[in-house]
Amino acid sequence: MALIFLSLGSNIQRHQHIGNALDSLAENFGEMIISSVYESVAVGFEGDSFYNLVVGIHTEMGVSEISKLLKQIEDQNGRDRTAPRFGPRSLDIDILTVDDIAGELGGVSLPRDEVLKNAFVLLPLAEIAGDQVHPVTGESFAQHWRNYDQAKQKLWPVDFIWRGKNLSQCT
């Protein structure tokens, strides 16, 4: 069974779309590892702030099959595929890592390059998989977060209640 980490983000009806995505992922994959939810300013365009988090799943599904399912979940949550790449999103779900695979798998480049570029991906990944090693660099995600220029992108944990539990570690 593969351990796969996914990033989730939304800046349109954020709570609703992230909650719907978590429900769909739980329905399809069962128990999940879920990071805190972080709010961050939009990167690459002017727009409303995003909610972002990382989810770990275990599955025997292939990457192309998972990718197709994630697109369906995005579409069910109003994802506009004609919108500009850097623009508002009802829901964005990306495959970050699949075990320790590096390279192309099922049409997906692994690990996703955003892991090391964006705080809103790296911090929640380091939170729930800090000891895991980046398949290319050989350094842990926690080490990458320690080395990241944390002043470059501002983000902060926010309370997020899903199924009666606050996912975030803020009080």
Q: What is the pLDDT of residue 49?
A: 93
Q: What is the C-alpha separation between 19 and 43, in angstroms, rounded? A: 22
Q: What is the C-alpha separation between 123 and 128, in angstroms, rounded? A: 9
Q: What is the pLDDT of residue 69?
A: 97
Domain 2-161 matching CATH 3.40.50.970: the answer reads no
Q: What is the share, in percent, of the chain residues with pLDDT greater than 90? A: 80
pLDDT digits (tens, 9 = 90+) for 5-45: 999 999 999 999 999 999 999 999 999 999 999 999 887 76
* Selection from 26, 13, 15, 80 nearest residue 55 by Cα: 26
Q: Predicted confidence band at 59 (pLDDT cuts at 50, 70, 90)? A: very high
Regarding beta strands 33-34 and 92-98, do their DSSP bridges make them parallel or antiparallel, or are they unpaired?
A: unpaired
Q: Where are the domains of the chain?
A: 2-161
Query: Tokens 């002043």 map to which residue?
Result: 151
pTM of structure: 0.94
